Structure 1
Amino acid sequence: MTPDEIALVRGELEAFAAEVFEPFARKDQRRWGQVYLRGLLTDGRRKSIEPMAARLG
């Protein structure tokens, strides 16, 4: 997905991520879980943390 496509479904994605990452004890863990999820959905061949972080800024 492109960043524009992700922006179109941001509300649904945040609701899904909130449900999935709710068991995480700390707020920062839940936030990074959402970032990781967006990274998995973005275009790009490599889905490991370093390339995803570079794409997401």
Structure 2
Amino acid sequence: MKTSNLKLTVGTGSGTLLSTLAVIGTHDVLKTAALAAIGAVVSFAVSWGLQRWCRRK
């Protein structure tokens, strides 16, 4: 990749990230983190339960 293309890519990505951070509030970030944690725990529990159930059969 050429240097000018890299600078353009980094500049565009940084600008997009910073403008998104200005719009998203702390409450939204905490809510998203909580939902992600709940989803991970449920996914783990279901996978673990299915593995135990399949071993019995």
Place the TM-score, normalised by the shorter chain, in its bin: 0.3 to 0.5
- TM norm structure 1: 0.33
Higher relative contact order (CA 8 A, sep 6+): 1
TM-score (norm 2): 0.33
